[in-house]
Structure 1
């Protein structure tokens, strides 16, 4: 989706922005004596996007001065007289790509497809993509040869004619920063409450939708938004509560919690508009060819797009300009399980064993399972997965984890295009040298994949935004010791403490949610034959060069029977999305 494009074909760059997105406030362009800034998304505050764009332009006006990037969901191009800066925030929600050859950038765009055109594809990208669902946002490669991604938290400086000068990443630029001071005697729960409230406040637009599922996370965001809007408006009439409701099956068990959440928000903001969308007729993989094929690059979570599309459409009809979710709370505000790895690495084996036993009792897992998942696997991720695969021979999906080569990815293609290097890079990203720190970076990409929001933005008028993944919230939680966040048998204990005065009792005390497995299983039952036919009829040359389509079809059949687990099903979903995306390229539909 081409929100902006910069071309370098003369002495000065030429900037073009999408007029319809500019009218809806999704692209903001400001000019000053120093230059021009075009910002897709928002920097600083959703409500005053022009002020955020002007602040970016002023902050980077002095050559050689690289200040911390502000909080926001944005990609920006800053045009000065003697240089051009390309920026993305650390959370990397809004894409930005460059087309480069010979050290010179020819064009910049928010669309890889726009820059790629009819150029050849980049096979290394597809190896990177197939290592896991987090690969896309933090990999420099794009699907098209010669087109590179500007990374999250990165500042790229070009000359006025497009000559590449330098790139600075978030490893050297401190983005976000810790929260400001709180009142004397404030505890961690109060700090979290303040940081989360400020994260919500930054994301409030003219009319705000909050996704509410009846869980602790989304309900907390909706309650804070209701309090803030009620304080401004009196009744919170510009708040929309958006929920998908199931009347039958396992997910019907979530309905009492959803009703309780809506009533709790109404107590804070009587004028709120609940929009409850019946979702019984929605299944994963509905219209899969459209959702997976009509995308700028392969979308691993396209199978879940039908549910989110229905909710997005309801919010768009009411004129919402922001949609807030509870995505990211699980890894950010819950006790960090890789604390066990840290204890083992520092030689505190007795304390590690004690904490592993406590976690085992609280989770129902065996101590060995806890240690294997949170100590052994982070230390030796690839070796652990390969051993697991050997122990689960007999099916295509048995033992297939995050990184190891799926059997349907042909060995010769994987060897020729760097799959081994890709799986090593992905495992380092997920676990890193300090897995307890890498968890937060990985969670940012895993918890909130929203290419669907990006693709639908021109018609909907909003992007999704995720307060729990705000840099201030993440940085604050990073600083807390493990004993503050870990309460056996009580997940997200600190969040419950922070929201104790607002969360209704039923939601505050619940410790588990019904998983979203039923729509997935129903979708495979309904569309399994169709998915297999899509694979069999695939004609893009790269599909047959890359995949053993017979094995991929067998993997779909096994997933349909419930064989495997969420990790292996993710690998199937991503591969199916890639097959459909390549067919879209071949036929010119995407």
Structure 2
């Protein structure tokens, strides 16, 4: 887990590259507190200089010149790296990496979970290794197999590889996009980094807002569609992709993996018990390889099906006692601590209970908005980070958690269950419809029928008064139409476009600000591929969401976990949170200078929206906070949260 950055000029080497890459990499310091390193290349002369920084490990500082002394020398390629050490804690894991035999080098962020298996395969081919780090495995795998190596990796990665012989730079991301690479291209250069702020640090031009991203976010709540960002000319490298650029400025892009949804595969006719058995086998191996670390590892345990599955499987494959952490929400309907305790006791885990974090969002607002770089979907990200920070404070550096279960196995009632009922009726599968309908206990039959019937009704193209909400410059954009389609289509869109790409990027920033490394076995690419070959009828069956996962865990977990209907997870009552900050929010928006909001209209309608569309209120607030921080370069003044005791209208001055 690290931060990477780079600059590649395709015309001429130039002085000043050392200070530029130093500034970029220093911006990523929070992602890698354990080490620092640089590489500068003049591709015209073949000169290559490795350099240390003030926070490089002692062995590196003693062996290399410092980056500060190289600014007068001309270079056209610069690479920077900040290390958060997880495997091989020695200087053997220092980056940038260089392999003399193949004449390739680069920087890498992430972790190859199956690095031991890949290393064994390469050793059988005669490849030698000198460290116990996955970094060496990645670069030597690329030297041996070329781009075919990416298909062999099981892990998370954002990597930049430079071929000194070809004078060519390659960028690549993991299959689902768990590790980010942001890219900015100019006529004669390419900049890349793990976070947008590192690129912004060295740009000489004024930041330009991507107005389409603003509209998509405010109206639909969408982020990172088509790998865009809120900044014009800064994009996210697509997951499962490779970008090449050579010294002549020629670029080529390709994909090495696609998620294929084939619900009519051979698995559709397989016995459910056999499907569950294979799912269990894949998930167990996904957990096994994610337990590899040379630092303390813990499990975030909510008491729900997903995290309990991870905890149970980890305990069966790991001989030593594992630590798990759960958050207690005393005297609330959301408290799942008793369920988490039951799981922990069953598997004899070292059980830790922490109280729900009390640190208020407004105490950290400027730092948190700056961390996420773009408007984000909910302040519960702050709550999640607070939990991880508590785990970090006990010495934990790697966290296994249950992220991805709802997206892979259809765990959202609103997103999938109602659509599935509609799909069954459309196909005339009345018996299956009746079984799902009658066995679903979270809602009354009347409520459930009303929800399912809504799926047949046409959706309006726009549910918000866009021409009033926005200033005139934005209202011409068409509304995204993503509400229709089958449950199968919604699963695929959420995994590849609408939700998962953004959530993964948010979790990356949230975790590495601490830093901790988070690992999600339920998002192992093998498990995702397997799940997307299953008919939806195995995901949603007899009124149960995630039925096949429950079936696979049936003999491992207590029935109170496996077959519990009510879904909780880590709660976040957004509407209550907004009301408790209502006066603060009104003040911020009444003072807004955001050109993308109709200030008067927003302030007049804020409290009605609070009652009906709290998600919209948050998105408006998040956009305002981001615009102040990154566009106007202002900080939010120290504000105490002030609640609104009764509905009132605050008009803009």
- Report the TM-score when normalising by structure 1: 0.78
- How far did 1:278 drift? 0.7
Q: Secondary structure at the match of 1:294?
A: helix
**Superposed CA offset, 1:154-212 (max 9, x none):** 11111146x2421113676989xx9xxxxx99711111111111222232233222111
Alignment match of 1:465 (pick from 519, 522, 533): 519
Q: 1:79 to 1:343 in 2, by over 3 A?
A: farther
* 1:40-98 Cα distance to aligned partner (Å, 9 max, x none): 11133489983365335533766786853633222111111221111111221222112
1:6–1:14 CA contact under 8 A, matched in 2: yes
Q: Judging changes above 3 Å, is the alpha-carbon distance between structure 1 residues 552 and 243 closer, same or farther for their aligned structure 2 residues?
A: farther
1:363-378 matches, within 5 Å, as 363=440, 364=445, 365-367=447-449, 369-373=451-455, 376=456
Residues 195 and 131 (structure 1 numbering): CA distance in 2 closer, same or farther, change over 3 Å?
A: farther
| 1:19-418 equivalence runs, <5 A | 19=82, 21=84, 29-32=96-99, 33-34=101-102, 35-45=104-114, 50-51=133-134, 54-55=137-138, 58-59=141-142, 68=151, 70-81=153-164, 82=166, 83-102=168-187, 104-116=188-200, 117=203, 118-121=205-208, 122-136=210-224, 138-160=225-247, 163-169=249-255, 187-204=274-291, 205-206=293-294, 207-230=296-319, 235-236=320-321, 239-252=322-335, 254-266=336-348, 272-279=349-356, 281=358, 285-287=361-363, 289-290=365-366, 292-334=368-410, 337=417, 349-351=427-429, 353-363=430-440, 364=445, 365-367=447-449, 369-373=451-455, 376=456, 384-386=459-461, 400=463, 409-410=469-470, 412-415=472-475
Query: Could you tell me which residue of structure 2 aligns to residue 393 of structure 1?
Result: none
* In structure 2, distance between residues paired with 1:5 and 1:323: 25
CA deviation after TM superposition for structure 1 residue 488, in Å: 1.5
CA distance in 2, matches of 1:312, 1:69: 31
> In the alignment, which residue of structure 1 is the partner of 2:59?
none
Of 486, 506, 510 in structure 2, the residue corresponding to residue 451 of structure 1 is 506
Residue 19 of structure 2 is aligned to residue 5 of structure 1:
no
- CA gap 1:5/1:112 in 2 versus in 1, 3 angstroms: same
The equivalent residue for 1:392 is none
TM superposition shift of 1:518: 6.1
Structure 2 SS opposite 1:130 = helix
Q: SS of 1:187's equivalent?
A: helix
The structure in which a higher percent of residues are helix is: 1
Judge conservation of contact 1:105–1:164 (CA < 8 Å) in 2.
no
| Cα pair 1:73 1:465 within 8 Å, conserved | no
Moved more, 315-324 or 164-173: 164-173
Q: 1:373-411: per-residue Cα shift (whole Å, max 9, x none)? A: 3xx47xxxxx6034xx7xxxxxxxxxx4xxx67576416
Cα gap change, 1:313 to 1:366, in 2 (>3 Å): closer
What is the aligned-residue RMSD (CA, Å)?
A: 3.8
Which has the higher mean CA deviation after the structures are superposed, 507-516 or 88-97?
A: 507-516
> Alpha carbons of 1:354 and 1:366: their partners in 2 closer, same or farther (altered >3 Å)?
farther
Report which of the two structures shows the higher radius of gyration computed on alpha carbons.
2
CA contact (8 A) 1:342 1:434 kept: no
Relative distance call for 1:432 and 1:144 in structure 2 (3 A) is farther
Q: 1:198 to 1:160 in 2, by over 3 A?
A: farther
Alpha-carbon distance between aligned partners in 1 of 2:257 and 2:605, rounded to the nearest angstrom = 39
* Cα pair distance change 1:525/1:172, threshold 3 Å: closer
The normalised TM-score by structure 2 is 0.71
1:102-149: CA deviations, max 9, x gaps? 3x443211222222345332323322333544422x433223332222
2:616 alignment partner in structure 1: 571
Cα pair 1:334 1:491 within 8 Å, conserved: yes
Residues 288 and 208 (structure 1), Cα distance of their counterparts in 2 relative to 1, 3 Å cut: same
Does the aligned pair in 2 maintain the 1:293–1:581 contact within 8 Å? yes
My pick for the range that moved more, 144-153 or 354-363, is 354-363
Query: Is the partner of 1:243 in helix, strand or coil?
Result: strand
| In 1: Cα distance, 2:571 partner to 2:609 partner | 12
| Paired residue secondary structure (1:385) | coil
Map Cα deviations across residues 208-258 of structure 1 (whole Å, 9 max, x no partner).
22111111111111111222222xxxx32xx33122101112224x23223
